[in-house]
Amino acid sequence: MSNNRKVIDVRSEMEFMGGNVAGSINIPLQEVPNRLEEFRAMDNPILCCASGNRSGQAVQFLKANGIECENGGGWMEVNYQMAQQ
């Protein structure tokens, strides 16, 4: 994972406020369809959530709409990987 890629956390705002990847952006899963233009402007963002399930749903939707992105899985794992770089 590259440190200059955006990390998008698709958990709820309340979950996000309880802990998140430093510098990540919170776009809850239900908002993803309405924010496609934001995703199009990003360079292969990494999506995360609590376990990788919701971020997997978001990645599937975004890829179906022609947007390259990656499912990073759970936010704690993404946080750990980013810290190792």
Sheet containing 7-9, strands listed edge to edge, beginning at the edge strand earlier in sequence: 25-26, 7-9, 46-49, 70-74
Instruction: Name the residue range of residue 46's domain.
Output: 7-83
Among 3-7, 47-51, 54-58, 80-84, which stretch is predicted with the lowest mean pLDDT? 3-7
How many domains are contained in the chain?
Answer: 1
Assess if residue 2 is contained within a domain: no
**For residue 31, is it within any domain?**
yes
- Summarize pLDDT for 9-36 with one digit per residue, the tens: 999 999 999 999 999 999 999 999 999 9
What does the pLDDT read at residue 84? 86
CA-nearest of 71, 67, 76 to 19 is 76
- Whether 37 maps to a domain, the answer reads yes
1 in any annotated domain: no
CATH classification at residue 75: 3.40.250.10
Q: What is the dihedral of CA 10, 25, 46, 34, to 10 degrees?
A: 60
For 33-74, write each residue's pLDDT tens digit: 999 999 999 999 999 999 999 999 999 999 999 999 999 999
pLDDT recorded at residue 82: 87
